[in-house]
Amino acid sequence: MAKTLFEKVWDLHQVVPETADTPAVLFIDLHLTHEVTSPQAFTLLREQGLPVRRTDLTFATMDHSTPTTTDQIFGGVPIKLASARGQVEQFARNCAEFNVELLGLQNEKRGIVHIIGPEMGLTQPGKTIVCGDSHTSTHGAFGALAFGIGSTEVGHVFATQCLLQRKAKTMAINVEGALAPGVTAKDLILAIIHEVGVSGGTGHVIEYRGSTIRALSMEERMTVCNMSIEAGARAGMIAPDDTTFAYLEGRERAPQGAAWTTAVAGWRELVTDEGATFDREVQIDATKIQPMITYGTHPGMSIQVSGHVPVRDGDAVFAQSLAYMGLNAGQAIAGAAVDVVFVGSCTNGRLSDLIATADILRGRKVAPGVQMLIVPGSQQVKRAAEALGLHTVFAAAGAEWRESGCSMCLGMNGDTVAKGQYCVSTSNRNFEGRQGVGSRTLLASPLTAAASAITGRVTDPRTLLA
Amino acid sequence: MEPIRILHSRTVVMAATNIDTDQIIPARFLTTTTKEGLGAQLFADWRYDAAGTPKPDFILNQPASQGCQVLVAGRNIGCGSSREHAPWALVDYGFRAVVSTEIADIFRNNSLKNGLLPIIVDAATHQWLVANPGAEVTVDLQHCELGLPDGRKVLFPVEAFARFCLLNGTDEMGYLLKQGTAIAAYEASHGQQRSRTTA
Ligand code: SF4
C-alpha cells in the first residue's frame, strides 16, 4: 500500500501497534532534554527508583533559563537570576546522577536544543525525536518524526525509551514557485500559518512538499518546520534529499564511512509514495508571498510588511489583541515605531540568519534609542559567525552580540523586553508577555528585523537591499 | 493522580480564543523544579497588577468563580508551548475539566496525564455554555457525558486508554514499564541500525 513519509516512519517505530483500547507503544530514537521541562521527570525516576533506560539515545543541553551575557557564561559571574541559577545547577546534577550526556554552560558545542541536534548530526532522517519542547518540530526538516512532549512523557521516555501515542492525521502543504528576492523561509511559514490558521494543523502531522520546499536550504527548511506547531500541528516533515545528505555528511554524530553509505541508501526510501493520500491538502503559491510581519498576539495574526492592520468590527478578542499591541485597525504597519530588535531563537538563530542580518547592517547604524540584540543559536554558530567577521559588522552597527541561548524568545533568562515596548523579533511566538510582562512582539524575518533596527521603524527590507 | 468519575460544578467562562500556555503560566515561573504550588501563578499576568494585587475585573478574582472546577474556554485553548506547568497550574488552582470546541494537542495530552479532563463540545453547546457562565454542569467520565442544567446530555470523546487511566487514577508509566519485553525485543531487532547519540 502506498504510504506517506509520516506513515513510513511511524510504522518503523511501533513496538506495539495501537488498538481501540490502547495507544501504540512508539520507540524513540533520540531524546533531547533541557533544564526547564526535565526536573519533574528526573524526580519521577528518583521516586520510582528507575534509571534512564537508554543514555546512549539521550542528550542534554542548557538553553532556556541560561543567560547569554559572556560574564555569566565565561567570566566567573554567577547566573544573576537566582531561580534560573538553581534550575541550571540542578539540571547538571540530574544529568550527572543519571549518566546523561550534557553540554554544560561552557561547552563549546552548547546551544539551543533545536539548533545543536542538527548541527551535531544527531538529527537524522527517519528517526523519532522528542523533547520536552514544542519546537521539536524543527527536526522534521530532515525527514524525522519529531514532536514536543510534556514533562510526564519526558519521564516515560527516560524510563522506557517509548511513548504511548495515537497515530496522527496527515496534512500535505504543497508549495510551488520561487520566493521573490527579500522573501525568506520565515515569510513563507508566516504566510502558511496565516493560510492554515493557528489551530488548522491540530491533530495532524504536516508534510511540506513542492518545488519551493525542495529549493530551500536545510537551514531554511528548519525555519519552516520549526513553526509547524504555530499552525497547531505537533510535527512538520520534509522528505530527505541530496540537500539533507550534503548537510549531514561528516557531522560528528552522523554515521561515518560504510555506515554512512548504508544510511543514505535507507534514507532515500523516506519519501511519500506515489498515490499515497493525505487527510488534508493545502496549496500555497510561493510567488505571491511578500515579507510578512505579525501585528497581533498570535502567530496567525500576520500581514505583509507593506500592508495594513485589518479592520474587524465587532470582534472583541481581536480588539483586545490590538489594544494590547497598541496598534489601530487599518493603520499601515510599516513605519510603526520599534524599541527593541531581537535576532535569534531556534527559528532564526542559525548562521544563514546571521549572514542575512549582517547584509543589512553592514555599513549602517542601528537607529538611536533602539536596542538590537543578536544571539547565536549555538556556540558553534557563534564561532562560525565570528570566523566570517560578522561580529565586527554587528558591533560597528551598535548591536549587542551574545553567547547562545533562547534569550529574548521567552522571558525567563534575564533577557526581556520592557512593558509596552515594541520588539521586532525573529522568534516564533508573539503571545502576550512572551518576551517579558507587557512586551509587544512583532514576528518577522532576520532581514525585516535588521531593516527595522536601522530605521527604528517597521521597515520592508527590500528598501535597504542593494 | 486523582481519579475523575463524576464532577458537579459551576463553570467559569473565559471566552477568548487561542488562550496560549504562556498566558496560563508565564515563562518566568518555569524555573521551578517541582509541580506544586503553581496555582498561585495561574494566569498571573491577567490576574494580578504590577504590584501583585488581584485585578477585580479578572474573572478568577470574582466571588462567583471561587470553587469552580470546570473552565469553559474559547477555541484552541492551550496552544503554544508544551509546558506541562499549564495543566499543573490549572489543577493546583482547583480545575478538573476544561471545555472548548478545540483544544491544542500537547496541552490536551498533558492535561489527561494530570487529572484535568479536556472536553471538546460542538459549537452550539459551547455557545450555550459561554452565554451562561456559572451554569451548574455535571461531567460524567464513565459515560463521557456533559450534563447541562436543563437536563441535556452532551457526549464528548475521550481517548480510551486515557479515560481508563483517569477513571482509575492510574498513570501510564506502569503500563509502559510492563511493555519491557516488547521494548527489549524491538531494541534487539532494530538497535544495530540506529546510530547512537554518543560519538
Ligand atoms: S528559542 Fe524560543 S522557541 Fe526555541 S527552544 Fe528556545 S524558548 Fe523555545
Q: Phi then psi for A189, rounded to 5 degrees?
A: -70, -35
Residues B162 and B178 in one domain: no
State what percent of residues in chain A have pLDDT above 90. 99
> pLDDT at residue A294 above 60?
yes
Shortest alpha-carbon distance between residue B192 and chain A (Å): 11
Chain B environment of A101 (Cβ under 8 Å)? 197-198
Residues of chain B with pLDDT under 70: 191-199
Residues B121 and B185 in one domain: no
Task: Please check whether residue B40 lies inside any domain of the structure.
Answer: yes
Q: Quick one: how far is CA A260 from the chain centroid? A: 27
Q: What is the dihedral of CA A104, A109, A113, A114, to 10 degrees?
A: 180
Residues B175 and B164 in one domain: no
Task: Please check whether residue B158 lies inside any domain of the structure.
Answer: yes
The packing angle between helices A351-361 and A218-226, to 10°, is 100
Task: Please check whether residue B48 lies inside any domain of the structure.
Answer: yes
Q: Given B34, B175, B177, which is nearest A40 (Cβ)?
A: B34
Gap from CA of A395 to ligand 1 centroid (Å): 25
The answer to whether B62 faces chain A, any CB pair under 8 Å, is: no
Q: Quick one: how far is CA A165 from the chain centroid? A: 23
> CATH 3.40.1060.10: does it fit domain A169-247+266-287?
yes
Q: Given B28, B81, B177, which is nearest A159 (Cβ)?
A: B177
Q: What is the CATH number of the domain that holds B150?
A: 3.20.19.10
Over residues A403-415, the mean pLDDT reads 95
Cell numbers at residue A195, please?
493560510
Give me the number of domains chain B comprises. Answer: 2
Residues B138 and B115 in one domain: yes
Residues B118 and B180 in one domain: no
Asked if residue A217 lies in contact with residue A318, where contact means CB atoms within 8 angstroms, the answer is no
Gap from CA of A347 to ligand 1 centroid (Å): 8
Residues B112 and B43 in one domain: yes
Q: Find the residue in B nearest to A435 (Cα).
A: B27
**Distance separating alpha carbons of residues B81 and A65, to the nearest angstrom:** 15
Quote the pLDDT of residue B191. Answer: 67
Residues B101 and B150 in one domain: yes
Over residues A64-68, the mean pLDDT reads 95
Q: Which of A34, A108, A63 is nearest to A384 (CA)?
A: A108
The answer to whether B47 faces chain A, any CB pair under 8 Å, is: no
Looking at the DSSP assignment, which residues form a beta bridge with residue A169? A204
Contact residues for A69 (Cβ-Cβ < 8 A; gap 6+)? A402, A403, A414
The packing angle between helices A379-387 and A390-397, to 10°, is 90
Over residues A177-185, the mean pLDDT reads 98
Kindly tell me the burial class for residue A65, based on how many C-beta atoms sit within 10 Å of its own C-beta (0-12, 13-18, 19 or more).
buried
Cross-chain Cβ contact A429/B22 below 8 Å = yes
Quote the pLDDT of residue A83. Answer: 87
State what percent of residues in chain A have pLDDT above 70. 100
Residues B123 and B155 in one domain: yes
> pLDDT at residue A172 above 50?
yes
Q: What is the pLDDT of residues A321-342, one digit of tens each?
A: 999 999 999 999 999 999 999 9
Q: What is the pLDDT of residues A72-110, one digit of tens each?
A: 999 999 999 998 999 999 999 999 999 999 999 999 999
The answer to whether B35 faces chain A, any CB pair under 8 Å, is: yes
A409 lines ligand 1 (CB under 6 A): yes
Cross-chain Cβ contact A27/B183 below 8 Å = yes
Q: Phi then psi for B77, rounded to 5 degrees?
A: -65, 145
Q: What is the CATH number of domain A291-463?
A: 3.30.499.10
Asked if residue A262 lies in contact with residue A255, where contact means CB atoms within 8 angstroms, the answer is yes
Task: Please check whether residue B52 lies inside any domain of the structure.
Answer: yes
- Note the CATH architecture for domain A5-165: 2-Layer Sandwich (3.30)
Asked if residue B77 lies in contact with residue A204, where contact means CB atoms within 8 angstroms, the answer is no
Shortest alpha-carbon distance between residue B110 and chain A (Å): 6
Looking at the DSSP assignment, which residues form a beta bridge with residue A207? A172, A237
**What residue segments make up the domains of chain A, in order of their start?**
5-165, 169-247+266-287, 291-463
Quote the pLDDT of residue B193. Answer: 47
Cross-chain Cβ contact A37/B82 below 8 Å = yes
Average pLDDT of every residue of chain A: 97
A128-131 and B136-140 strand pairing: unpaired
Task: Please check whether residue B44 lies inside any domain of the structure.
Answer: yes
Task: Please check whether residue B1 lies inside any domain of the structure.
Answer: no
Residues B46 and B91 in one domain: yes
Residues B163 and B186 in one domain: no
Q: Give residue B20's domain range.
A: 6-168
Task: Please check whether residue B16 lies inside any domain of the structure.
Answer: yes
Q: Which atom of ligand 1 is nearest to the CA of A349?
A: 1
Identical fold for domains A169-247+266-287 and A291-463, yes or no, is no
Residues B17 and B49 in one domain: yes
Residues B115 and B190 in one domain: no
Quote the pLDDT of residue B57. Answer: 96
**Distance separating alpha carbons of residues A175 and A172, to the nearest angstrom:** 9
**Nearest CA, atom 2, ligand 1:** A409
Residue type, A295: Y
